[in-house]
Amino acid sequence: MKKNTCLLLLVLVSHLLQAQEVLRVQNGAVLSLVNGATITIAGGITLADGSALLNAGTITLKQNGGSGAANWVDNSTSAYGYGVGTVVFSSSAAQSVATKNTFGFLEVSTAGLTLASDINSDNWLLTQGPVTTGTFTAIAVSTSQTAVQATSSNTGYSKSWINGKLRRYIAPATVDSYDFPVGDPAKINLVTLDNLSASPLVHTTWLDASFGPKPGNDAGLILSESGTPFSAVNTGGVWYLTPDAEPTGGKYDLLLYLGGFAGLTDNEFALLERPVASSDAADWTVPAGSSVPDAGQPGRTLAAGYARRNGMSAFSQFGIGMTITPLPITLLDFNAERESKILVNLDWQTATEEGNKGFGIERRLDDETAFSSMGFVATEAPNGNSTGILSYSYADTNSYAGISYYRLNQIDLDGKSAYSAIKAVSGDSTSGLSVLIYPNPAHGQFTLRVDGNDKPYTAMIVDILGRVVRQVEATGTNNVLIGGLKTGLYFVRIPDIFGKGKSFVEKVLIVP
């Protein structure tokens, strides 16, 4: 009978509070809701220091008559727990919350919730509206897998997520997977830690996650995986995962969801890492000891919606690296020879072509820093596809007296492109002397080929500081072993090969 009386009083109080602008709980007062009780506060709540809220029911904060503020302000100086009950932020306008105390269940079903302090809740229920943390942190105290979850109307956290920093306490020995629904003001870019219990992480208690714009650019990015170089890190954004302490053991799989990312191609992207505070492209690395799924499997395809990397053992800043697209043709040969003082002839052959539109002709003079387009040769393959040998040629009007460098830009029917090796020719020789380096980037070794002259030359491999790190023969065709050289950018220089003072100089990228 006493319990029923208490419930009746709460219902009456609820009715009265509908008309209040703000519920104020003064110092020394206690607001207590028993299990099953519900109360709606129209206009928000303010708790004075020294007051208390004990909640085993449901408290809903919404606007008074559809207008005004409906915020939660707790001025307590000593932290305590509100209880196992639920607090629902429900408003057509943005709301805010500030408290040192811990909610049992905090449900976000509003136009947006802004944190005015770090907010602790055993459980976060995300229904509608982003949670903007600013300089603060949304903290899920429970280690349960469902301590942060989307309600049934919030599929994939698309309607409600954490715009800022989310902290989750983890128990990898017993919980196999955790979602970190973080994103930016406009969208969700979910992080999922998976396969935790197979080899539980050691020494890590909690993890902060956030998502934001990619700092810096790709200048200095020199990186490959299994011999495949990366060309860039996608500008869609990066994720930050920061633990209370780095693991001293254990593994996990990491899934990063690609909402809002553009320019990705199936099987040509992978998760990379660098230090949390870094904006230097040279710091990107392949996470040690990790692996990616096989081509065509979830985590390598756009249809899956995420990039996956397995066997991770540390936390950092993470981005989506894009690999250099291989030529979708089999190029048998590529030659560039000076026919006269005003003409250079290019010819090449393909053994196979797949979806090929044709070849852009690009040239760089030795006093230039970039290649320029000189022309285009359409494919001879029916519909861009062929399994037989096809021959091509192009005549470039070129009277430059120095060294000219040529390459082919193979273009697919869908607009993607990839470059051939680079060939150099002299400006005042009709001997047909030319130099070719391939492949570039190089892994393990590259081939240096000199055509049109049997005279012995010495090629020097020079690092970016101008130091000669290796010398090799440059006559005919030579396989140049590059084992022992650090990953990075080098120059191949052959002095005076095109005449006194006329040297061959070309960049070569050495990848792991």
What are the pLDDT digits (tens) for 362-403? 998 888 877 899 999 999 999 999 989 999 999 999 999 888
pLDDT tier, 69 (very low <50, low <70, confident <90, very high otherwise): confident
Verify that 336 and 320 share a domain, yes or no.
Answer: no
pLDDT on residue 490:
86
pLDDT on residue 267:
87
Is residue 331's pLDDT more than 90?
A: no
Asked whether residue 204 is assigned to any structural domain, the reply reads no
**pLDDT tens digit sequence for 277-315:** 999 988 999 999 999 998 889 999 999 999 999 999 999
Asked whether residue 206 is assigned to any structural domain, the reply reads no
Q: Of the candidates 125, 105, 113, 14, which has an alpha carbon nearest to the alpha carbon of residue 55?
A: 105
Verify that 413 and 438 share a domain, yes or no.
Answer: no
Within 13 Å and on the Cβ side, how many CA atoms surround 90? 15
pLDDT on residue 20:
45
Choose between 254 and 24: higher pLDDT. Answer: 254
- Residue at which a domain ends, from 269, 303, 324: 324
Verify that 422 and 450 share a domain, yes or no.
Answer: no
Asked whether residue 475 is assigned to any structural domain, the reply reads yes
Does the pTM exceed 0.85?
no
pLDDT on residue 371:
82
Verify that 94 and 127 share a domain, yes or no.
Answer: yes
Q: Give the three-class secondary structure for 283.
A: helix
Highest averaged pLDDT of the listed ranges 40-44, 201-205, 415-419: 201-205
Q: Is 236 in contact with 261 (CB distance < 8 Å)?
A: yes
Q: Is 64 in contact with 42 (CB distance < 8 Å)?
A: yes
**pLDDT tens digit sequence for 333-367:** 788 888 888 999 999 998 888 889 999 999 988 88
- Residue at which a domain ends, from 111, 146, 169: 169
Question: Taking the chain, what is the end-to-end CA distance rounded to the nearest angstrom?
Answer: 77
Give the range among 108-117, 138-147, 167-176, 432-441 with minimum mean pLDDT.
432-441
CATH number of the domain encompassing residue 354:
2.60.40.10
Beta strand ranges found along 234-294 (DSSP E): 238-243, 252-257, 269-274
Verify that 111 and 35 share a domain, yes or no.
Answer: yes
- Rounded Cα distance, 339 and 394, in Å: 12
Q: How many domains does the chain have?
A: 4
Is residue 330's pLDDT more than 90?
A: no
Choose between 160 and 439: higher pLDDT. Answer: 160
**Rounded to 5 degrees, what are φ and ψ at 281?**
-65, -25
Verify that 257 and 399 share a domain, yes or no.
Answer: no
DSSP string across 304-356: TTEEEEEEE----EEEEEEEPPPPSEEEEEEEEEEEETTEEEEEEEEEEESSE
pLDDT tier, 483 (very low <50, low <70, confident <90, very high otherwise): confident
Asked whether residue 177 is assigned to any structural domain, the reply reads no
Q: Is 151 in contact with 136 (CB distance < 8 Å)?
A: no
Q: Of the candidates 13, 122, 98, 14, which has an alpha carbon nearest to the alpha carbon of residue 49?
A: 98
> Which structure tokens are listed for 114?
């802004």
pLDDT on residue 232:
83
Asked whether residue 153 is assigned to any structural domain, the reply reads yes
Verify that 357 and 277 share a domain, yes or no.
Answer: no
CATH number of the domain encompassing residue 486:
2.60.40.3080
Is residue 4's pLDDT more than 50?
A: no
Verify that 122 and 50 share a domain, yes or no.
Answer: yes
pLDDT on residue 22:
77
Q: Is 273 exposed, middle or buried (0-12, 13-18, 19+ CB in 10 A)?
A: buried
Q: What is the mean pLDDT of the chain?
A: 88
Domain around 132: 1-169
Verify that 275 and 316 share a domain, yes or no.
Answer: yes
pLDDT on residue 484:
78
Within 13 Å and on the Cβ side, how many CA atoms surround 345? 10
Verify that 293 and 240 share a domain, yes or no.
Answer: yes
- Rounded Cα distance, 201 and 205, in Å: 9
- Rounded Cα distance, 253 and 219, in Å: 29
Asked whether residue 175 is assigned to any structural domain, the reply reads no
Is residue 207's pLDDT more than 70?
A: yes
Asked whether residue 499 is assigned to any structural domain, the reply reads yes
Q: Can you give the length of the chain in residues?
A: 512
Q: Is 288 in contact with 313 (CB distance < 8 Å)?
A: yes
Asked whether residue 6 is assigned to any structural domain, the reply reads yes
Residues β-bridged to residue 271: 320
Query: Dihedral through CA 135, CA 140, CA 146, CA 149, nearest 10?
Result: -30
pLDDT on residue 12:
31
Verify that 393 and 263 share a domain, yes or no.
Answer: no
> Which structure tokens are listed for 265?
């191609």
Verify that 56 and 143 share a domain, yes or no.
Answer: yes
Is residue 181's pLDDT more than 90?
A: yes
- Rounded Cα distance, 486 and 228, in Å: 16
Q: Is 309 in contact with 247 (CB distance < 8 Å)?
A: no
pLDDT on residue 17:
38
DSSP string across 413-442: TTS-EEE--EEEE-SS--S--EEEEEEEEE
- Residue at which a domain ends, from 393, 410, 428: 428
Q: Is 177 in contact with 145 (CB distance < 8 Å)?
A: yes
Identify residue 199 by its one-letter amino acid code.
S
